[in-house]
Amino acid sequence: GAGVSQSPRYKVAKRGQDVALRCDPISGHVSLFWYQQALGQGPEFLTYFQNEAQLDKSGLPSDRFFAERPEGSVSTLKIQRTQQEDSAVYLCASSLVAGGPSDTQYFGPGTRLTVL
């Protein structure tokens, strides 16, 4: 596709439910990032993949959060036993090369998660 796509765009979950958020990066992009953006805040890093390898998961807030990118393209962010504090927009970004400091990251539109 022309850009990064994410699905669903909106997700409402009851507290305690599991959710799965999908990211389709730009074709051929090596790097894939997940960010969490709370209302009125900038994006906060969650995790980074280089191809299928998860090289950095230091931003995942708890062990309820899990991400994978098994074939080095599509990625899924899974949140188990959702809590109200998980409510946020989850952004996916991809970049062409392997996470260089001058890399331009291309962001998807995000998935807005609301936990009731």
Q: Which residue ranges make up the site for other proteins (CB under 8 A)?
A: 4, 31, 33, 35, 40-45, 48, 50, 55-56, 58-59, 91, 93, 99, 101-102, 104-110
Question: Which of 14/27 has CB closer to other proteins?
Answer: 27
Tell me the β-bridge partners of 45. Answer: 35
Shortest Å distance, C-beta 11 to other proteins = 15
Shortest Å distance, C-beta 73 to other proteins = 18
Residue with tokens 């959702």: 82
Question: Which of 66/107 has CB closer to other proteins?
Answer: 107
Side chain identity, residue 63: D
Shortest Å distance, C-beta 15 to other proteins = 25
- Shortest CA distance to 36 belongs to which of 82, 73, 100, 69? 82
